Amino acid sequence: MRYNVELGFGFQTEVLWEDDSLLIADKPSGIPVHETKDTNRPDFTRLLQKALGLKQLRTVNRLDFGTSGIVLLGKENSDNVHLDELLKTSDKEYIFISHGIPDWKEKRTESFLKEGKMRMMTVRSGGKKAITEFKVLGILQKEKLFLGSAKLITGRRHQIRIHISEEGFPILGDEVYGDAKKGNPKRMFLHSWKFQFEDAPDHKTGVRSSVPKEFLHYFSESYLEERVD
C-alpha cells in the first residue's frame, strides 16, 4: 500500500513499497539522501526514519542532491548483504529533460569513469566501466528540449548526468555537467522513475514513482503515460 509522509522542513514523500526489511520511498529534489558532514543539516533518510518512528533506516542506494525519485532503505542491519545484492540485480530507469534535440531515438553509451573532485571524469584507463541506455520520449522544438529515459546497466556515481552531457545534451538544471542557469530551472530535471526487483524466487515486483510536478510544466502526465511502458 502506498502512503504519503510529511517529513518536515517543507518536504514530503510517498512510500511506494514496504515489507519487514525493505522500504522504498520517493526522495524529493533539493535534499541530501543521507547524513552529510554537517550533522545539523536535514537529510531524507533521517527525516523519514523519525517520521515513521523506526529504530534505524539505512540508505541502500544513493541519489544526488538535485535528483528525485526512488530510494531503497533497509530496516535491519542483518539484511545488508541481501539488500545490496537486490539493488545490484534490479532494473533501474530514470526520466530526464535535457537541452538540445538528438538526431537519434535510442542510444547506448559506454565509457570508463573515475572519481574526481566534485565530479566524475571519463578516462581511458584506471576507471570503472559505465553503461547507460537512452531513449528519446518527447521533443519540444521551440524550447529546444527533449524528454528522455535512461536505463542503468551499471551504477556509477553521476553516470547518467555525465553520459548524456558528453553526448552534447546536458540535463536541465545540472550545475556540474551543464549550464544550470540556462532556462532558469527550479531544480535538476533527473528523476528515478522505475525500479524492478526480485522479491521472491522467479518473481519480480515493479515499483514506479509519480511524475514530479516540475516535469509537468513541460510534459503532461498523460503524455508521459503514453510514452513510457
Residues acting as catalytic residues:
64
How far is residue 150 from each of residues 21, 56, 169, 171, 186, measured CA to CA in Å?
Answer: 28, 32, 13, 12, 21
Q: Which residues pair with 1 in a beta bridge?
A: none
Whole-number Å distance between alpha carbons of 225 and 123: 37
Q: Which three cell numbers stand for residue 127?
A: 576507471
Kindly report the backbone phi and psi dihedral angles of residue 122, in degrees, each rounded to the nearest multiple of 5, phi listed first.
-80, 130
